[in-house]
Structure formats: C-alpha cells, structure tokens
Amino acid sequence: MSLKINGQRLRSHLECLAKIGYREGAGITRLAYSREDVQAHEYVAVLMREAGLQVSYDPAWNLIGRWEPTLAQEDRHAWAASSGESVWPKKTSRPAIVMGSHLDTVPQGGPFDGALGVLGAVEVAQTIIENGWSLKRPLEVIAFANEEGSLAGGTFGSQAMAGSLAEEEMTLLQDEKSALARAYLNLGLDPKLVPSAKRDREFAAAYLELHIEQGDVLEGLGIPIGIVQGIVGIRRYEITVHGRAGHAGATPMAGRKDALVRAAQLVLDINEKARSFGPGTVATVGRIQASPGAFNVIPGLVNLYAEVRSLDLKTLEDFEAHLYRRVEGLGALAVVLRKDPVAMDRAVMGHVEAACEALRVRHQLIPSGAGHDAMNMAAVAPAGMIFVPSRAGLSHVPEEWTDWEHVTLGTQVLLESCLAVASHE
C-alpha cells in the first residue's frame, strides 16, 4: 500500500491561507505578530487539529502540531476535536520527524513562501494519520515565528528553538519598551521567556522543510525537484569611500577626486569578482549614499552597502580579503554581518534522493541562496530541504507563483522522505 497526499485539499488550504492579508494589486502582507499573522496561525492551528495533531505554542510563539503514533485512536480524535492548547512537549519520549516553515510574509509578498512548507507538512501528517500508517517515531509540524524578520533578525523563531538568538535580540526581549517585547506581550507571552524555547538535540531525528526555490535554476533546467545541498553563508559590509568635495562647475575634470566615481569603480570590481568565483557566488551593492548629495557639488564621501553570498566558506573569506585590499587607500571597510554556510545532512539528502528515485521524479542538487529556518534547525537536528520551481524565479513579490502540479509533487516527495527517515534507525 502506498500513500498519496491529497493535492486538492492542500490547494484549498493554500488558497484559503492566501486570502489572509491579501490586498488587490498589492499581494499578501502578513508581517510577523500582526493581526494578519495571528489570524494565519489560528487558521493553521485549526487545520492541525483536524489532521489529528496535538497543538501547542512554545514560549517563542512557534506553533507546534504533534502526533504520537503510540496513542490510542480515541485520544487522537480527542486531540483533533479539542479547541484548547496542550502543554508544549519540550521533553519527548523519542526523537520526532519534524517538518515546517513559516506563515509570515514580507510586505506585498506571495502565496507560497513559507506557507507551502507549513501546509505541505500538515498534509503529510494528515495523510499518514488518516490512513492509519504505523510509524516508529512521532511527527511534529512547526510554523516558526517571525522568519522574515519584521521585528529583530530573520528566522527568529527557529533561532529561539535552536538556542542561537543573537545578543542584540536577547537585549530587545529584556526591554519591554522595544517593539519585539511589546509584540510578545500583546500575544499574552512573557518576552523574557522566549530563550526557554530552546530544545535539546535529542528532540528530533530529522528536520525536513519544503520550500519554493525563489530563484530560476529549476525552471531553467526543467527539473521539478531540487535537493538542497546547503544554505549559503552571507557577508555584509559598509564601505566608506573618500574623495574631495568641490564645485561641480568650476572644478576641471582632470583635477577632481570624485568619491562617487571611485565608488562606481569599486561596484564594478565587486560584480566582476563575484563572477570570477563561478555560479555559486553572488555579490550585490544594494545601497549607495553620496555626500553632500547635491547636483552642483562633487561627492566627497560615499557609503556603499555590499553583500556577498556563497555556499563555500573559503570563497567568502577570499572575497573578504579581496575587499580589504581593494578598499585600502580608498577609505574604510566595516563588517556588518557574518553568517557561515550551513550544509544539509547527507543522510537526510540521501533519503530525499531515494524518494525522488522511487517516484521516478527528476531532481537536481542545488544550493539555497536565501536563508531559511532549516539553517538554524541544522544545529539541533539532521536537516534537509526540498525545493520546487518558482515561476520566472520570482518571490517576495505578488507575482510569486509555483504551479499546482509542482506543489503536489513536492509534497509527495516530502511524504516519501518523511516515511524513509521515520523507518531508519
């Protein structure tokens, strides 16, 4: 007997969720902890209960649906019918198979980013439970809080669960006047208890996350499933370029020290350097500020904000060393952010690959250029990610779209991967 997810049911749930925070012509806006985000959590909590999951929230407002395969059928039905919330199971009898993603969006986002990973996981759990499938391990489905970073840093809920909250975020939680602390107080939670959401490594046998690619590699190759090798590391820099301000009309071109011209040359150099490392490395100068910023004054100072991403740590280090050499004599460089690459677990990747082969689905190993909750969960569990194509590579925009056949197929691969991991001792 083989299990098949209910693609029509999943589509219906995704379409209903997409109405929460939707504005005509402006996409979907469900900022973390907003009224719309709360409504989305409430909707998914109902779906979790209907699927037969026990529902709870941890101190970081991560929504958790849990199923214990050893419970009697009547207890499962009681969970599904319950409108109350259970005690958060921080300690577990046996490591669970954990699946999840997030429900919050960027301003004017699309219907699949995060939502697919949560509702796809609910569908997988419901398919297993309603078919009376016997598993050796519990299941957990998690909707992580504040993945998009509307308040504090991104992937906030999974950072809390992994025990990797930054010092800056911990400080905000201690300050009841901060927007982050107020958000938790408004939810009826104590912000100072958020760090206690940390879970032990023993709680999960594996973490699986289904997500849209948010790029155009899979679509370009005509391949429906991407098996994520790892999540890229990120380096962000603020670069100051010095020049000499002067009159825009009275200063001859030969005698100028235009900071913006120097900065423009640096921007081109950053672009070319990224290309020299090959397709796995990207670099972006996303913000430029010229001072004094007047039409008739030669810029005397420019601030650049540059970002470099790569799956290879040595590439990031080499790029940084190059930037320091390149900026020498022009101005100064300050590191704003350093996040190292996170590799996905080879054994979990193997289970996903075996699932694709069993389903006779074309698949491709692929890096993730965006950050995800999986990069934090990898610190407490063997983690793996499954990508499905994004039309034209678009995401974080109202035009974000993934074909329904790919939604269904990706969720079926998630199911098969979950069963494979659950059966592995």
- Whether residue 1 lies inside any domain: the answer is no
The reply to whether 37 and 98 lie within a common domain is yes
Confidence check: pLDDT of 85 > 60 = no
What confidence tens digit (pLDDT) does each residue in 108-117 have?
999 999 999 9
pLDDT of residue 79: 42
- Whether residue 2 lies inside any domain: the answer is no
- Whether residue 379 lies inside any domain: the answer is yes
What confidence tens digit (pLDDT) does each residue in 204-242 have?
999 999 999 999 999 999 999 999 999 999 999 999 999
- Whether residue 169 lies inside any domain: the answer is yes
Number of domains comprising the chain: 2
- Whether residue 265 lies inside any domain: the answer is yes
Structure tokens that stand for 67 in this block = 């199923």
The reply to whether 21 and 108 lie within a common domain is yes
The reply to whether 172 and 308 lie within a common domain is no
The reply to whether 319 and 352 lie within a common domain is no
Mean pLDDT, the chain, integer: 93
The reply to whether 238 and 374 lie within a common domain is no
Pairing of strands 204-212, 233-242: unpaired
The reply to whether 23 and 126 lie within a common domain is yes
Cis peptide before 292 (omega within 30 of 0): yes
pLDDT interval class at 93 (50, 70, 90)? low
**Which residue among 283, 318, 339 closes a domain?**
339
Q: How far apart are CA 306 and CA 286, in angstroms?
A: 6
The reply to whether 248 and 217 lie within a common domain is no
- Whether residue 204 lies inside any domain: the answer is yes
- Whether residue 220 lies inside any domain: the answer is yes
What confidence tens digit (pLDDT) does each residue in 329-338 have?
999 999 999 9
8-state DSSP, 291: E
Percent share of the chain, pLDDT over 90: 88
Q: How far apart are CA 133 and CA 306, in angstroms?
A: 50
CATH number for the domain harbouring residue 258: 3.30.70.360
What confidence tens digit (pLDDT) does each residue in 337-380 have?
999 999 999 999 999 999 999 999 999 999 999 999 999 999 99
The reply to whether 86 and 124 lie within a common domain is yes
The reply to whether 42 and 180 lie within a common domain is yes
**Which residue among 286, 304, 339 closes a domain?**
339
Provide the CB-side half-sphere exposure for 354 (13 A, CA): 13
CATH number for the domain harbouring residue 370: 3.40.630.10
SS3 379: coil
Confidence check: pLDDT of 92 > 80 = no
The reply to whether 313 and 412 lie within a common domain is no
Contact 62, 103 (CB under 8 A): no
Confidence check: pLDDT of 78 > 60 = no
In this prediction the pTM is 0.89
What confidence tens digit (pLDDT) does each residue in 36-76 have?
999 999 999 999 999 999 999 999 999 999 999 865 444 44
The reply to whether 12 and 112 lie within a common domain is yes
What confidence tens digit (pLDDT) does each residue in 126-155 have?
999 999 998 889 999 999 999 999 888 889
pLDDT of residue 80: 45
pLDDT of residue 199: 95
- Whether residue 302 lies inside any domain: the answer is yes
Residue 408's domain comprises 7-231+342-423
Contact 97, 140 (CB under 8 A): yes
pLDDT of residue 411: 98
The reply to whether 388 and 247 lie within a common domain is no
Provide the CB-side half-sphere exposure for 417 (13 A, CA): 31
**Which residue among 339, 364, 380 closes a domain?**
339
Provide the CB-side half-sphere exposure for 366 (13 A, CA): 28
Pairing of strands 22-23, 27-28: antiparallel
